[in-house]
Structure 1
Amino acid sequence: MRDAYLIGAGQSAYGSFPGESYRSLFETAFERAVDSVPEGVEPGDVDEAVVGTLGVGGRQLGLSGPAVTEHVGLGGVPTTRVENACAASGYAVRQAIQAVKSGMADVVLAGGFEIMTDTSSDATKYWLGVSGETEWERLSGTTFSGVYAQMASAHMDAHGTTREQLSRVAVKNHANGAKNPHAQLAFECSLEDAQSAPVVADPLNLYHCCPTSDGAACALIASEDVVGKYTDDPIRVAGVGAGSDSVGLFQRDTYTGIPASRRAAETAYEMAGVGPEDLDFAEVHDCFAIAELLAYEDLGFCDPGEAGDLIESGRTEIDGDLPVNTSGGLKSKGHPIGATGAGQVVEAFKQLSGKAGDRQLDDPVRGLTHNVGGSGGAAVVHVFEREERSSSERSSGRSPRESESGVAR
């Protein structure tokens, strides 16, 4: 099976944009992804496209994938729409990688979009709620903040996690998001601010919850056979993992972890031949502060029950030994549902290509992205790593993992 490479990625700003449409936001993300490819890429180079969206507000529920790809000049390119709630474009990236690895395509566009701010709060809650278990959660009045509040309460009861530790997630991610020009909530907050905010669903308060957002993001995946045409510094897709679970929280055996995330991470680490100790950074799904703490444990950054201690240690801050959510995460950067997973890949691309601006890490080699659908009904994990190419590989166009005989090492 061929290697796949991330050759470019870009996103729109995240926020509230009444003057934009889902097509125009996707166009911005696509153009920035194309512009980020060092040697350039032409629309005619793209063999296939995969687009993630939930379709909040009911706009263009059918054929929304072709609607955006045609708009950006990819008319006629086979396009698939993926819906996996908040993990939609994370799975779109996974499908793009599968198409490249299988040999069916050499260059695939993976992206996502969502418009969430042009409907009433009640309508938005409805569309968010459709990703929860319908009969016993949504129709009985349970919200996503309520579901994650149950998870937070269970973690507090089982492991002594505190509200202050939840608030430290917000403080860290706002500090990072303040350095991100594409972030929706690009401002810092104090620990006092994060602890004293109004309660949304006890024990979660306003600063423990991500915003609703408009936005789009795109990534370009290329095969080892053509990557040399586009870049001299390829970013290899080292590992991919995915998992699914019961949609309803009440249907699961645990409230203090997300089994789908654990399975996805195990698969991705095994494929990449690495462990969490080998990562230089991670973008994790922090729709609520407790979700980031659960991710620490599910992804193996610490043992179960130790996530509160890990956030307090400072290790996951931007100057720590495992920075988490350098983009600001969902909490500060924003959470346009269909764009979120691809947006995490944008941050991985920027960090590994040295283009992350004021939040750039010191020479990172390997990073992870972690995208969750709903309260854990689906999860997808990618591991990306930077590779150096020799002058002979650059001139021949071979991938850095291909020998002189053309056989992958």
Structure 2
Amino acid sequence: MMGRARQSYDGVVLTCPISVPYQRYSIDTAHWWIATALRQALKAAGVLPKELDGFSVSSFTLFPDTPVGLTQHLGLSPRWLDIIPMGGASGVVALRRAARAVQAGDADIVACVAGDTNHIDSFRSLLSSFSRFAMDASYPYGYGGPNANFALLTDRYMQEYGATRADFGRICVAQRANALNYPAAIMKKPLTLEAYLEARPIADPIALFDCVMPVAGAEAFLVMTEDDAVRRNLPFARIGGAIERHNAHSEDPIQLRGGWTVDLDQLYGMAGSAPEDMDLVQTYDDYPVISMMQIEDLGFCAKGEGADFLRNKDMTITGDFPHNTNGGQLSAGQAGAAGGFIGLVEALRQVTQQAGPTQVKGARKALVSGFGMINYDRGVCSSAAILEAA
């Protein structure tokens, strides 16, 4: 069912992309990581904490703190406060909410921050209480976590569409090549397709380099009016369009498509552009099959043709289809909910020509997609945005 025409995001911009370098393990709290990213974003904009009137937070490991508690601990007094508990979809969803708040005058400057810590037992603790579905359906049997779930999905995708492990490997190998240019990436060693194919199995058909590595870290950006960004002399990106969709295609027996398919025409329609106009693409990439699924669902090729499409593409920074230009989560690391921000923050750097060693030459339009909250057998949340150079 089509709703009313979507209002544009004219007059609202993104600025001050911040990535706090990731650590494999950390003794610091999520609170510390979020505070560090926030401080850096405000400093970059020349904004005092008391001037910040909007605050959006995404985190899995903030408990027992809350975004409400953070306002007190960090000395903030926002008139607009949000929490986005949507995992890998959270970056674009935070952007959408914040942009509308600024557009409506409910806030002048919104800091969107995602951060998580990674203690030795953080992942086990997260799994044990992730969702009621997971607790009831899998955890009592000693089965838990995304590796096994995405192994089933990957296997079904391969059977359905004829993709091979090498097809997924090309995504991982290209992202590692990109990560070698990104100073903050956790993975520092080159990866060959041969090494990918020979890696130790994790959950058939998934092997070591298909799996995202949990880390500690934080990402942030600011949302404000274009007039404010110009006045502050800040490089900024405009929002061509943005969508989100939850629990799409629930009738599918296994998830081989996501919610992007429902609203894709509106996304490109808002931006007045098409897939071929994008200078780079940042997909949510906890497993390569998910990236391939997004490339299809975002309109670059038909469903099931992702492997064929990518066989003819160079996904590195200097290639004809730059994808996950800082290595994505598969090579830079997954800092919890910040995994939903890493692609968006990198895209903001790209279209404002601030990406440094990962810069795609002449990048003016970037497509970012998010995918989050696997609830036993499928990711429930999906989002996407098009960022444009000023």
Q: Which of residues 33, 54, 60 in structure 1 aligns to 2:41?
A: 33
Which position in structure 2 is the counterpart of 1:325? 324
Q: Match of 1:316, as an amino acid? A: M
**Percent identity over the alignment?**
25
Q: Match of 2:304, as an amino acid? A: G
Q: Match of 1:106, as an amino acid? A: D
Which position in structure 2 is the counterpart of 1:44? 50
Scaled by the length of structure 1, the TM-score of the pair is: 0.84
Q: Which of residues 377, 381, 385 in structure 1 aligns to 2:380?
A: 377
Which position in structure 2 is the counterpart of 1:136? 137
- Root-mean-square deviation (Å): 2.4
Alignment of 1:282-293 (within 5 A): 282-293=281-292
Which position in structure 2 is the counterpart of 1:147? 149
> Which stretch shifts more, 195-204 or 111-120?
111-120
Assess if the C-alpha contact under 8 Å between 1:272 and 1:383 holds in 2. Answer: yes
2-structure distance, mates of 1:258, 1:131 = 23
2-structure distance, mates of 1:132, 1:213 = 25
Give structure 2 stretches of 5+ with no counterpart.
1-6
Distance 1:325 1:226, change over 3 A: same
Q: Deviations over 1:120-171 (max 9, x none)?
A: 66434425x4386543355553531122112211111121100111111111
Structure 1 position 282, deviation (Å): 1.4
Assess if the C-alpha contact under 8 Å between 1:85 and 1:131 holds in 2. Answer: no
Which position in structure 1 is the counterpart of 2:4? none
Q: Deviations over 1:345-389 (max 9, x none)?
A: 2101211122212111101111121111124200111111011xx
2-structure distance, mates of 1:301, 1:69 = 42
Distance 1:273 1:213, change over 3 A: same
Structure 1 position 190, deviation (Å): 1.2
Distance 1:386 1:76, change over 3 A: closer
Q: Deviations over 1:211-247 (max 9, x none)?
A: 111111111001234232223643101111001116x
Q: Match of 1:201, as an amino acid? A: A
Which position in structure 1 is the counterpart of 2:3? none
Q: Deviations over 1:96-128 (max 9, x none)?
A: 12212223222111111112333166434425x
2:348 aligned with 1:349 = yes
Q: Which of residues 116, 119, 125 in structure 2 aligns to 1:117?
A: 119
Which position in structure 1 is the counterpart of 2:181? 179
Which position in structure 2 is the counterpart of 1:277? 276
Which position in structure 2 is the counterpart of 1:222? 224
2-structure distance, mates of 1:104, 1:27 = 23
> Which stretch shifts more, 254-263 or 312-321?
254-263
Distance 1:285 1:178, change over 3 A: same
Q: Deviations over 1:38-71 (max 9, x none)?
A: xx3333332211101123xxx524x521334444
Q: Match of 1:24, as an amino acid? A: W
> Which stretch shifts more, 321-330 or 13-22?
13-22
2:163 aligned with 1:161 = yes
Q: Match of 1:30, as an amino acid? A: L
Distance 1:138 1:313, change over 3 A: farther
2-structure distance, mates of 1:379, 1:135 = 24
Say which SS state the counterpart of residue 379 (structure 2) adopts: coil
Distance 1:303 1:223, change over 3 A: same
Assess if the C-alpha contact under 8 Å between 1:260 and 1:376 holds in 2. Answer: no
Structure 1 position 74, deviation (Å): 2.3
Scaled by the length of structure 2, the TM-score of the pair is: 0.88
Give structure 1 stretches of 5+ with no counterpart.
388-409
